[in-house]
Structure 1
Amino acid sequence: MNINTVRLGLAAAAAMNIGGVLVFSRALSNSVINEFDPVVMSNFGLLMIMVWGLAYLGAATIKANITWLAGAFTLEKLVYVVVWVKWIASNSLSAVYDADLFAGIFYTIYGLNDFVFMLFFFFVFKSQWAKKD
């Protein structure tokens, strides 16, 4: 995978994690997000999502091989996708939308967003792993 594509993808992942959390949580003041998943989406959990965004941003500046870092990012996104699928299966999005539009949008898209970036990180991992041969 082209290094510029990797850097752009990492920057996009960082922007989604940091910007998405800040926008949809209204700078961590939207308590509806916390109420519907108080463990994963507590303000601490949202802050940690932004920290992962900073890690992606830092990785975008690395000029060397990031095989294992991309692998770790793949697993991190997989965890969030699994959590989201389980959440979607046992909760009502309409109840979230009734409580707050931004929280509804957040819960609608965060797992899909994480799935897309999980695939991206996996392809980065796979392409850089292949270069070792």
Structure 2
Amino acid sequence: MTLNDKTISKGFIIAGIMNSSVLLFSRLFTNTTIPEFDPTVMSNFGLLMIFVWGLAYISVAKVYKNVKWLIAIFAVEKFIYGCIWTNWMLSNNISTVFEKDSMAGIFYAIYGVNDWLFFIFFSFVFVRLMRFGDHK
């Protein structure tokens, strides 16, 4: 699979926008249901940090080739969130979240899928940079 530079840059922007959607699902951090179901990871502070990570993705969209090790960190971060979500899904009943608040239910239903997809994307970009540098 070959992705050109413009497509990869768009991928970073999309990743940032997806993380920024936490503002919508959390209703600007006023939705108490999201932190209720995972107070450690999804506290309002945790949700704010998800937003900040999104800003970091957008900030490197045009210069990602210059920060290959940061892209590796993005992949690790997405891997961790993906694992946390998978564990959460195996240990919780998402229908309980939907019953309490549909926005929180949608958030819990999709955030981990998003993290796994962007783990793959960031890993792909990092491997490409390690293998080809600026030349591809």
Q: What is the TM-score with the length of structure 2 in the denominator? A: 0.92
**Partner of 1:116: helix, strand, or coil?**
helix
Deviations along 1:33-77, one digit per CA (max 9) or x if unpaired, are 010000100000000000000110111132643321111100000
Offset, 1:2: 2.0
Offset, 1:131: 1.1
What does residue 54 of structure 1 align with? 55
Offset, 1:5: 1.4
Structure 1: 5+ residue stretches without partners? none
Distance in 1 (alpha carbons) for counterparts of 2:83 and 2:31: 24
Distance in 1 (alpha carbons) for counterparts of 2:91 and 2:103: 20
Q: RMSD value over aligned CA atoms?
A: 1.4
Q: Percent identity?
A: 48
CA shift in 2, pair 1:5/1:66, >3 Å: farther
What does residue 120 of structure 1 align with? 121
Letter of the 1:88 counterpart: M
Instruction: Determine if contact 1:66/1:128 at 8 Å carries over to the other structure.
Output: no
CA shift in 2, pair 1:23/1:63, >3 Å: closer
Letter of the 1:65 counterpart: N
What does residue 5 of structure 2 align with? 3
Distance in 2 (alpha carbons) for counterparts of 1:45 and 1:21: 10
